[in-house]
Amino acid sequence: MLSTDYGLPLATSTVDKITPYRLQAEKLEYDVLSPFSLTITSPLLTEKDNDANSLSAEYLSLNLSLFDTLFGTLSLNNVVVRGASLSEDVQNHLPDSLFIKHLAMDGVSYQGKFLRFGNADIQLSDWKNSEKPWGEWQGEFLFSAPRADIDGQPLTNLLLDSEFIGDKWEVWGLSFNSPFGNMTGSATQENARWTVHQLTLSDARIEPSDSLDRLMNQWASVSTTLDIALRRFDLLDVSASLPGLTVEHLNLSAQSVYLKNGELVWAPRDIRSLLSFNASLIHRAPWVLTDVLADIALSPSMIDVSAFSTKINDEGFVSVSGKLDSGTLALRNLTLSGLDIDMSSDMLATAQGQWSLLDTITVEEVSVRHTGITVANPEFPLLIAGLNMDGEQLTLRQEGLNGMWQGTLTASAAAASINRIPVSSPYAAMCVENGVWRIDPLNLSFQTGQLEARATINLTNPSHPWTLSVAGLSIPTDIYRQWLMASLPLSGEHDIDISLSGLGADKDSFAYSLTGTLSAQPQRTLLLAPAEQPLAQSLTGLFSASQPPMTDASLLAVGDIKVNADRGRISLQPVTIRQEERQFSLSGQWDLVTGEGNLGLDKR
């Protein structure tokens, strides 16, 4: 009878008598060769007790599993639905015992509080009705929709190829377009643990918006309960303009990235996280980085920078590669060119603090070109213009001690100002050969003269024997007070010749071993002292640790100065000092070992 014109009345009558539903339809098709299959056009299924609870579709095809149904479960082998409109409580409109081995829905629309979509295609395996939204299923879950709204976020061209087996959800493929770009990915979910095999965001343009705020709030609400392992994450042509950060045309690839409770954490078992990226521009005040390129490996115990390079502020260039692990910084290459580096006192203190945390610092190759450095330290300001520097195989910190323990280094600059004393064309060449550190030469040119120095220190010898020779013409006397922080209230210029040697293992060995000579010929000397202070008192207090405020300058005529040092015993030969009609002879004796000494003044 189902194959005749009475088929549809028979079906509607049967549903009405043996189920709590009423069935209406335009057409029913039945083939006796497929005795457990039906096709219904425009079906409408309504609950008898509540006409508002109804389900409708444009087309329905089903195949009954007779033996399973005879045992009390309404079981269907295959169901095809087209043009259905579903609601959030769809499971309440269907028989509680309904089981479908394979369900295919075409052109389906759905309206829920969290999810909405239209004209979607869905395929499910081993689906059964339950109180859970969407029911329960095991096996494949295929989904496609031209548009969907997830918690207010619009997505287009949504495709999902997944499978749910046991408690594990395998997402073989996911792709969609969003206001923030195009997303593709694959993942495995088990309980609260997500393993993302691949996730790609491409062609993204991110700016402040209500949608972005909503997305951030959504992430904050769900991320605190998730553990996420990102095996690979890619950004392709992503640009962002956010408060404090601008990025243009960023391409990024990250591997082995882990998030726990919404925050980045290190990979377990010391696994390296790999990060590589390039961008045409990254702006984070005060830096503007262009043509950025980086390739980095990170782990809890190590950061390995295979390559990092960028232009800075459209003028300078930085390139660096190296490795940082527990207590050791090993740079393979460091290149700086055309930079203007401004360091505040806080930045300098931070850099010094980080430097001091390291036991060993090495640099295989360093190159600096046309770079300016400004250290805005009120106590010791520093300005270097046009710095050029080359170094190879450098060890700059060893066993927690600063120094140049190995390598070669040359440095020059167009000009410098070191604690307010201008220097032009400074040059220094240093090297370490067979454990002996050597500077040969150090050249400094001042406004009125120049200085040349050479020095050595044997780093392999526990006593650290050293030598120093200095020759200068018309060098400023201020350098002792400004550079060496010596309590010497003198200004002017002088010629100088120094030849010293000794041991540098510690203060005691230095005091016991200091030997050599110093001779100087002052050319113009100013005594910086209070105007009311007697000249004799000012002269005897030349080397006093505490000096009175320098409120006045007195011109002195000073004769040749000769100082001898013999194993820590220092003697100042009499020096003639004249001021107008007054003349004095200044001499002194000091013992670095005992700390005793005196400065004598005779009036002539």
Return the higher-pLDDT residue of 66 and 597. 597
Alpha-carbon distance values, 459 to 135, 360, 396, 505, 577 (Å): 77, 16, 13, 9, 42
Lowest-confidence pick of 157-161, 210-214, 278-282: 210-214
Predicted pLDDT of residue 254: 94
User: Reading across the β-sheet that carries 44-47, which strands appear in turn?
Assistant: 21-24, 44-47, 54-56
Q: Mean of the pLDDT values across residues 218-245?
A: 90
Give pTM, 2 decimals: 0.77
Q: To which residue do tokens 């295989």 refer? A: 364
Question: Residues 542-558: what's their mean pLDDT?
Answer: 69
Q: 50 exposed, middle or buried (CB, 10 Å; 0-12, 13-18, 19+)?
A: exposed
Residue 43 CB neighbours (<10 A): 25
pLDDT, tens only, 20-55: 778 888 888 877 767 778 888 998 888 777 766 678
pLDDT of the residue at 546: 61
Q: Give the span between the Cα atoms of 362 and 384, in whole angstroms.
A: 24
Domain ranges of the chain: 206-314, 324-419, 434-604
Question: Does residue 69 carry a pLDDT above 70?
Answer: no
Longest dimension (CA), the chain: 145
pLDDT confidence of residue 71: 58
Among 491, 485, 479, 548, CA closest to 523: 491
Residue 604: which pLDDT band, with cuts at 50, 70 and 90? Answer: low
CA distance linking residue 427 with residue 443, whole number of Å = 5
Choose the weakest-confidence range: 141-145, 344-348, 402-406, 472-476.
344-348
Q: Which residue has the higher pLDDT, 521 or 192?
A: 521
Q: Which residues pair with 521 in a beta bridge?
A: 495
Residue 548 amino acid letter: P
Residue whose C-alpha is closest to residue 564's, from 601, 522, 514: 514
pLDDT of residue 129 exceeding 60, the answer is: yes
CA distance linking residue 320 with residue 366, whole number of Å: 9
| First and final C-alpha spacing in the chain | 145
